[in-house]
């Protein structure tokens, strides 16, 4: 296998970041295209109610993604520090423990969803008109969820192992397969929303198998490690899993916050604008992963560089990587905002016919939603920095502020001030207020203590 041969400790930061960023960005953009194509096929092939039904189930999928990313980030940060300490065995143990813990959690999620399907859907904001479609989508999605965990956690660990291009290939293969199966099952086979869900499950299974194959056959340092079953070993495993969870929890909150955004938005758009409002909001929810993915590509690309040099106690390299990530995030955020302002008609037209009521609601709202891109990208970059430096408490607090504390009241209060416009502005206002807290906090802390280092 043609390995990328990245030297996190001695290589030039700019070259390392570019080697990580572009494969990560390409892989995540393909995932975003998958979401957009999925919505396009369902919107045009099944209808706006099907889009709204998928938006009902989406928060559960995001919780699963958050769990996978939580363990992936946690294991990658700790593993990166251990590799910097030349302790390869400890890094392998951490990776194996992360996978076992995540598999148990995902098994519980799948079982609970099967046993309590209807109550779960109504908890997520389902209405009687959408119940049948949402049930079809959920039940056919469940078989792929455990494999989806393997993919989510594996992306960060494969990049840490020095193979960002393989991680990119996993995401591209899964996305292209999903797009083709979406089209094939929705249109030629006429399977409707069930076909779209089956396409997602199959692509998750293929991606999960590719991740497992990497660690068995192609990996450099990170491989699965046989764990002992003694009481002492189990206690150590629980402690390590707890620490991984602590470090990665902010990432879980990030995905959970998107779920909170969807559930809260579903309720509020339904109450103000009816089913057409939920369908319009679902377009924003399909596009929000574009904002999230590009911003997260910046954070995830800098994460192994920062965590490795943090473990090696190279404070100057940590600062350099963070500064480069901030500049990149700002540029990406501005570009996304401009694109959503200029192309709102085109973006809405991807999902809906212009004759549908939801189309006009979406074209007027998407430019407002796009205002969140710049502050969101910067927030995610700073939060990723704190995670990489084991400052999990700060990362969690800032993620809670942007994703829950400010956003939920925004959805409730802003529409009372400015009507439907306030529904679309709830997310940008939440991100902007959070950024106004993060930047002074970083400046003050950096002046007092400098760049954090282990045991400092």
Q: What is 90-128 written as a DSSP string?
A: HHHHHHHHHHHHHHHHHHHHHHHHHHTHHHHHHHTT--G
Please give the Cα distance from 61 to 58 (Å, whole number).
5
Tokens 């965590």 found at: 307
Please give the Cα distance from 158 to 163 (Å, whole number).
6
pLDDT at 449: 62
Instruction: At 315, list the tokens.
Output: 């404070």
The string of DSSP codes covering 347-397 is HHHHHS-TTSHHHHHHHHHHHHHGGGHHHHHHHHHHHHHHHHTT-HHHHHH
Tokens 């068995």 found at: 216
Instruction: At 200, list the tokens.
Output: 């997602």
The pTM score is: 0.74
Task: Indicate the domain borders of the chain.
Answer: 13-449
Please give the Cα distance from 61 to 48 (Å, whole number).
20
Give φ, ψ of 450 to 5 degrees.
75, -175
C-alpha 152: how far from chain center: 9
- Which residues lie closer than 8 Å to 149 by C-beta, 6 or more apart? 64, 67, 68, 102, 103, 106, 208
Q: Would you write out the chain's pLDDT as a tens digit for each of its 456 residues?
A: 444 567 777 888 888 888 888 888 887 777 777 666 767 777 777 776 777 777 778 777 777 888 888 888 888 888 888 888 888 888 888 888 888 888 888 888 888 888 888 888 888 777 777 778 888 888 888 888 888 888 888 888 888 888 888 988 888 898 889 889 988 988 888 788 888 888 888 998 999 999 999 988 888 888 888 877 777 778 888 888 888 888 888 878 877 777 778 778 878 888 888 878 878 888 888 788 778 888 888 888 888 888 888 888 888 898 999 999 999 999 999 998 998 888 888 888 877 777 777 888 888 888 898 899 999 999 999 998 998 888 888 888 998 898 888 988 998 899 888 888 888 899 999 999 999 999 998 888 877 666 665 544
**C-alpha Rg value of the chain to the nearest Å:** 21
pLDDT at 267: 82
Instruction: At 326, list the tokens.
Output: 């901030």
C-alpha 318: how far from chain center: 24
Please give the Cα distance from 264 to 407 (Å, whole number).
9
Best CA proximity match to 383, nearest among 450, 275, 288, 303: 303
How many residues are recorded in the chain? 456
Instruction: At 419, list the tokens.
Output: 């009507």
pLDDT at 57: 81
Please give the Cα distance from 148 to 136 (Å, whole number).
19
Collapsing DSSP states into helix, strand and coil, what is residue 13?
helix
């Amino acid at each position: 296998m043609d390995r990328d041969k990245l030297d996190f400790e001695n290589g030039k930061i700019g070259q390392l970041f570019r080697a990580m960023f572009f494969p990560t960005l390409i892989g995540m953009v393909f995932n975003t295209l998958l979401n957009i194509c999925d919505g396009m096929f369902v919107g045009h092939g099944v209808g706006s109610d099907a889009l709204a039904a998928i938006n009902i189930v989406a928060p559960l999928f995001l919780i699963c993604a958050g769990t996978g990313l939580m363990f992936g980030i946690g294991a990658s940060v700790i593993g990166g520090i251990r590799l910097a300490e030349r302790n390869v065995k400890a890094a392998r143990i951490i990776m194996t423990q992360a996978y076992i813990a995540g598999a148990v959690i995902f098994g519980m999620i799948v079982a609970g969803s099967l046993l309590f399907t209807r109550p779960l859907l109504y908890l997520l904001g389902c209405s009687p008109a959408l119940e049948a479609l949402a049930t079809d989508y959920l039940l056919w999605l469940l078989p792929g969820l455990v494999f989806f965990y393997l993919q989510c956690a594996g992306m960060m660990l494969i990049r840490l192992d020095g193979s960002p291009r393989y991680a990119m290939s996993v995401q591209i293969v899964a996305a292209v397969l999903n797009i083709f199966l979406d089209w094939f099952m929705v249109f030629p086979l006429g399977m409707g929303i069930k076909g779209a869900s089956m396409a997602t499950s199959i692509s998750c299974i293929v991606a999960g198998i590719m991740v497992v194959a990497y660690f068995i056959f192609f990996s450099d340092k990170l491989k699965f490690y046989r764990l002992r079953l003694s009481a002492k070993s189990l206690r150590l495993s629980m402690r390590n899993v707890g620490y991984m969870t602590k470090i990665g929890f902010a990432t879980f909150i990030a995905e959970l916050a998107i779920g909170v955004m969807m559930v809260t938005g579903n309720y509020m758009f339904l109450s103000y604008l009816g089913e057409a409002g939920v369908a319009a909001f679902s377009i924003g929810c399909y596009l929000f992963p574009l904002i999230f993915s590009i911003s997260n590509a910046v954070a995830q690309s800098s994460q192994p560089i920062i965590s490795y040099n943090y473990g090696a106690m190279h404070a100057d390299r940590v600062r350099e990587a963070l500064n480069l990530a901030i500049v990149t995030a700002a540029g990406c955020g501005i570009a996304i905002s401009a694109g959503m302002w200029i192309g709102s008609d085109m973006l809405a037209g991807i999902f809906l016919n212009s004759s549908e009521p939801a189309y006009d609601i979406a074209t007027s709202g998407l430019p407002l939603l796009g205002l969140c891109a710049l502050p969101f990208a910067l927030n995610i970059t700073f939060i990723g920095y704190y995670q990489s430096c084991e400052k999990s408490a700060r990362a969690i607090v800032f993620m809670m502020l942007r994703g829950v504390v400010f956003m939920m009241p925004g959805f409730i209060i802003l529409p009372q001030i400015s009507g439907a416009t306030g529904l679309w502005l709830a997310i940008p206002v939440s991100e902007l207020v959070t950024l106004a807290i993060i930047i002074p906090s970083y400046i003050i802390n950096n002046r007092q203590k400098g760049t954090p280092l282990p045991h400092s």
